Structure 1
Amino acid sequence: MIYDNILTVTENGITTVTINRPTKLNALNRATINELNEAFTEADKDKNTKVIIVTGSGDKAFVAGADISEFADFSVKQGEQLAAKGQELLFDFIENLSTPVIAAVNGFALGGGLELAMACHFRLASSNAKMGLPEVSLGVIPGYGGTQRLPQLVGKGRAMEMVMTAGMIDANQALSYGLVNHVTELADLIPTANKIASKIMRNSSVAIGSAIKAVNANFKDGVNGYTTEIEEFGNCFGTADFKEGTTAFLEKRRAEFPGE
């Protein structure tokens, strides 16, 4: 499918989604959010896609924030609707995908950009990356899950400082905080993401989907993560992947998972 604001390429089991608004430093507007929803939906349905990588075009920005011009004159009700719709279409949607999503953060990831990266299952960053939630400097707060996911990843105190100061941290500080898993040179960012994706693809995609659901359950109000883990563990026993994985182990060979 051809999009106006993003590019997608699927190769060797990996779908790479690139936000392509370089003149706007890949800022998120409503059209881009809708296109990302479509692209992630298609990739998740595609049996040939085992891992999704999301990144930004160019070498300056992953996503430098939301497109402020779209909502500068919004009312209270419109602001609520903007946040709710964005979370539904993209941020919560990505977090709950059964296909693993890796954020390859190349440059600035600010506001909605950092919120997008945090919605992914884990993150890599280039050495020139800068991350932050500057919303309070505009008289608003993060509205795409930032106040919830950042404390989960870096702890309450660090999250409070980042939100209140509206400041940026660099890639190495993000690594020390646990906000990103790896830091590479810019040229090595996508190859490193692909290398990790290749390791993921050796395993059962069905089991990985169950693991994502179980891990996420620990962070949902009113949900017992242990109960979800037990249920998903049991569900795995009814899959073709489980039969193949255990058979391959007993036969001392590499498993060829059917993804079912």
Structure 2
Amino acid sequence: MADFEYLKVSQQNHILTITLSRKDKLNAINTPMIEELQQVIQEVYDLDEVKGVIIRGDGDKAFVVGADIKEISQLNELNGRKYSETGQELFSLIENCHKPVIAAITGYCLGGGLELAMACHLRIATEEAKFGMPEANVGMIPGFGGTQRLPKLVGKGKALELLMTCDQISATEAKAIGLLNTVVSDDDELTFKCNSLLEKITSKAPLAIGMVINCVNAADGNSETGFQTESNNFSNCFKSQDFKEGIEAFVEKREPNFIGE
């Protein structure tokens, strides 16, 4: 594989580890990272020597803290829709991959980071990890599929609570509500657990594993209409006064004064 600016890619045996690497920005997702990750995942589809994938963040402070706020602040209704659809396309590519993809989570897993984790087939986190969807704090909604995948994992009521309150929850609570498969004590155990689980899964018939993923995704009933509704509303956020106020308040480190317009 090629060298990347925002990813570190390594392979051990038949397991590929993709590390999201913007450590100084707590691995915040930007458009170049999305493009690089899409390139790698597309290659995974065709590489016979890769049977499973681990996605993780660089360092122990964050899996992904969210989308790059500087980039988000420059979006408008038109390019906001394109931004949302580009992220949705990547995360659907991950979700529909016929090879198992595990999110290995340490630190903060927020916003777009949680949306990425939810697109993976399995999620394993260390005890100190934190989870949340903080978009409404700045007058936004999730745009990479979060409004669609979160209710399917945790139920409609809990999803609405997390999306509307913007509360952060612990790894223990995340597992209790079905957001995580497993919680481990530290990063060493996280690496071991992810690799051992993938070794177990990839010892099975690859065609059958791919079919299982396909069938379970079909059972989820992922709706193009639902994802399009999310993109439409995501883009509409960027013409609102509340979004402008939310971003200004975030930059100025103060409480926003939302007016509902």
Normalized against structure 1, the TM-score is what?
A: 0.83
Measured after TM superposition, the shift of residue 16 of structure 1 is 0.5
For residues 48 and 167 of structure 1, what CA distance do their matches in structure 2 show? 41
Structure 1 residues 74-89: aligned runs within 5 Å: 74-88=75-89
Counterpart of 1:64 in structure 2 is 65
Q: Which amino acid aligns with 2:66?
A: G
Change (3 A) 1:222 1:35: closer
For residues 222 and 36 of structure 1, what CA distance do their matches in structure 2 show? 23
Q: Deviations for 1:57-113, whole angstroms, at most 9, x for unmatched residues? A: 10110000000111213221221111011111x111101111110000111110000
RMSD value over aligned CA atoms? 1.3
Unaligned 5+ segments in structure 1 are: 224-260
Greater relative CO, 1 or 2 (CA 8 Å, sep 6+)? 2
Structure 1 residues 136-175: aligned runs within 5 Å: 136-175=136-175
* 2:217 counterpart of 1:216: yes
For residues 44 and 78 of structure 1, what CA distance do their matches in structure 2 show? 29
Measured after TM superposition, the shift of residue 139 of structure 1 is 0.2
For residues 3 and 34 of structure 1, what CA distance do their matches in structure 2 show? 10
Q: How many residues align?
A: 222
For residues 93 and 206 of structure 2, what CA distance do their matches in structure 1 show? 18
* 2:26 counterpart of 1:16: no
For residues 71 and 164 of structure 1, what CA distance do their matches in structure 2 show? 20
SS of structure 2 residue aligned to 1:102: strand
For residues 202 and 222 of structure 2, what CA distance do their matches in structure 1 show? 31
For residues 114 and 211 of structure 2, what CA distance do their matches in structure 1 show? 26
Measured after TM superposition, the shift of residue 52 of structure 1 is 0.4
For residues 178 and 222 of structure 1, what CA distance do their matches in structure 2 show? 21
Change (3 A) 1:222 1:197: closer
Structure 1 residues 191-210: aligned runs within 5 Å: 191-210=192-211
Unaligned 5+ segments in structure 2 are: 225-261
Measured after TM superposition, the shift of residue 193 of structure 1 is 0.3
Change (3 A) 1:10 1:221: closer
Counterpart of 1:122 in structure 2 is 122
For residues 105 and 119 of structure 1, what CA distance do their matches in structure 2 show? 13
Change (3 A) 1:163 1:100: same
For residues 34 and 87 of structure 2, what CA distance do their matches in structure 1 show? 7
Measured after TM superposition, the shift of residue 222 of structure 1 is 7.3
Measured after TM superposition, the shift of residue 12 of structure 1 is 1.5
Q: Which amino acid aligns with 1:176?
A: A
SS of structure 1 residue aligned to 2:220: coil
Q: Which amino acid aligns with 2:10?
A: V
Change (3 A) 1:80 1:47: same
Identity in percent: 45
Change (3 A) 1:202 1:213: same
SS of structure 1 residue aligned to 2:29: coil
Counterpart of 1:190 in structure 2 is 191
Measured after TM superposition, the shift of residue 221 of structure 1 is 5.5
Q: Deviations for 1:181-219, whole angstroms, at most 9, x for unmatched residues? A: 100022211111001011011101111111111110112
For residues 165 and 99 of structure 2, what CA distance do their matches in structure 1 show? 35
Q: Which amino acid aligns with 1:38?
A: Q
Q: Deviations for 1:139-175, whole angstroms, at most 9, x for unmatched residues? A: 0100100011000000011000000001111100001
SS of structure 2 residue aligned to 1:47: coil
Normalized against structure 2, the TM-score is what?
A: 0.83
